[in-house]
Structure 1
Amino acid sequence: MNKTIYLALFATLFFVNVSQAQESTEETGSLNSGTIISQFDYLLRISNNYQEYKVVKKTNLDKIKANVLDSLGVFEKELAAIQQTVKAQQDKINELEAQVQDTQEELAKAEQARDSFFFLGLPIHKSFYNTIMWTIVAALLGAFLFFLYKFSRSHKVIALSRKNLAETVEEFEQHRKNTLERERKLKRELVDALNGR
């Protein structure tokens, strides 16, 4: 039984100490430090009740108003700093986008310069130049083959003409020899006839 009384007494003391500790922790806090929420909670705790209303001291209300305005000022400064940072970053983004645009334009110009060159003072794309060159090569090859054909044909005609000329010269020589022979024969006959008279 003594143990039960001691235990009950000990439990009662424990609960009294815990409730006093809670009340003392609830009483802590102030209007000079802590967050705005904790200051409002403190203001509610220290304010008096009148029917369904809370009665707040004017000094406490002025103090919390000043604290709220100070906090708003800090937040406005932070917001202004953040907005300035955002603006600076947006300016940097715009600058980088302009640089990217310039780089893309330079890349396009470099690719165009790589793929083209000036020929007779005119810019020509390499693929168009290749097409022109292969067209010229094909035309020259066609002309070469055409003239080769004409040359071989002319060569055959010339060879035939030379052969005919050689035959004509040979016939002419034969005819001349025959004519000379006849002339000699006639001269001899004439000489014989003149001598024989």
Structure 2
Amino acid sequence: MFNLGTAAHAQDTTKKANAVAKPNPYKRPAVAAQTPVVTPSAATTPQPQKPVDKSLHGQYTYLLTKIYNYQQPLVGALVKNYNDTLKATRKQLKDAQETVTAQAKTIDTLKKSSNNKDQSLAASEAKVNEVSLLGIPINKGTYNLIMWGLVIGFGAIAAIVIARSGAHSREAKYRIKLYNELEEEYKNYKAKANEKEKKLARELQTERNKLDELTGKG
């Protein structure tokens, strides 16, 4: 950025240089007075007066007092272009900040929506994985363990009952076999007893006949 104070000093110096009167050709030239030689260390350079107001408007106002009138529109146009550019840049910066703020709000909204969806999904999964057993909510994994435990338990009980039933069946068959054997022996014994009884009855009848014969003869 150029220094308006330095430019104003240059314009002021130009004015003074142009304001020097032209020499008169009819006037006798004056004898130049001898002036002491000034060393560079003793020479002093005039310092331009700096504006008190350091703002852009203050420097612009100060510059208008140091330039020609025909230069003022050019400087005014330059300052106007600078102000327009500055305003446009500030507007772009403001728009960019508003865009960033809107995007940040959108991101926050999306994050909240994502969190709500995650919570809803977790609740849905928990509801899907939950089973009511006797009015008590139980996790599906626990429910499966309980059901498989009951199935295994009932299977073990059924196996024990079947094993016991098999043992009882074998015992019953054994008892039936013994009964049949005893019945067969009893039948054989009864048949033999009948035969023996008949034999004894015949022998008894024979003895009676013999006794009757002996008694009749006597």
Q: TM-score range by the shorter chain?
A: 0.5 to 0.7
| Aligned: 1:175 with 2:193 | yes
Work out which of the residue numbers 41, 50, 54 in structure 1 matches 2:51: 54
Q: Tell me the CA shift for residue 191 of structure 1.
A: 4.4
Distance 1:167 1:94 in 2: 96
Pairwise CA distance, 1:149 = 1.6
Query: TM-score, structure 1 length as denominator?
Result: 0.56
Say whether residues 1:146 and 2:143 are aligned partners. Answer: no
* Paired letter, 1:163: E
Change (3 A) 1:144 1:92: same
Superposed displacement of residue 148, structure 1: 0.9
Q: Residues of 2 paired with 1:47 and 1:104: CA distance?
A: 75
- Per the alignment, residue 166 of structure 1 pairs with 184
1:93 and 2:111 correspond: yes
User: Separation in 2 of the partners of 1:141 and 1:171?
Assistant: 44
Shift of 1:164: 2.1
CA distance in 1, matches of 2:199, 2:165: 49
The alignment of Structure 1 onto Structure 2 pairs a total of residues equal to: 151
Structure 2 Cα separation of the partners of residues 174 and 80 of structure 1: 126
> Identity percentage over the alignment?
10
How does the TM-score come out when normalised to structure 2? 0.52
Of the candidates 131, 145, 153, which is equivalent to residue 149 of structure 2? 131
Alpha carbons of structure 1 residues 127 and 162: separation in structure 2 relative to 1, 3 Å:
same
Helix, strand or coil at the partner of 1:54: coil
Structure 1 unaligned regions, length at least 5: 1-37
Which string of whole-angstrom CA distances, capped at 9 and with x for unpartnered residues, describes residues 136-192 of structure 1?
Answer: 122211211122122212322321232122112211221122112212332343345
Counterpart AA for 1:176:
N
Q: Which residue of 1 aligns with 2:34?
A: none
Structure 2 CA distance for aligned equivalents of residues 173 and 164 of structure 1: 14
- Aligned partner letter, 1:152: R
In terms of fraction of residues, the more helix-rich structure is 1
The one-character-per-residue Cα deviations of 1:98-155 (angstroms, maximum 9, x if unpaired) are 2133223334444x27xx7x88998773333222212212221121112212221232
Q: Quick one: structure 1 residues 121 and 108, their matched pair in 2 at CA, closer, same or farther if it must change by over 3 Å?
A: closer
Contact 2:4 2:60 in 1 (8 A): yes
User: Are the counterparts in 2 of residues 47 and 54 from structure 1 also a CA contact under 8 Å?
Assistant: no
Q: Cα distance 1:146–1:43, how it changes in 2: closer, same or farther (>3 A)? A: farther
CA distance, structure 2, for counterparts of residue 83 and residue 97 of structure 1: 21
Task: Tell me which of 101, 106, 115 is aligned to 2:124.
Answer: 106
SS at match of 1:126: helix
Q: Distance in 2 between matches of 1:106 and 1:71?
A: 51
CA-based RMSD: 3.8
Structure 1 position 156 matched with structure 2 position 153: no
3-state SS in 1 of match to 2:51: strand
Post-superposition offset of 1:44: 6.2
Partner of 1:18: none
Structure 2 residue runs of 5 or longer lacking an equivalent are: 10-47, 62-78
Residue 81, structure 1, aligned to residue 99, structure 2: yes
Distance 1:45 1:184 in 2: 175
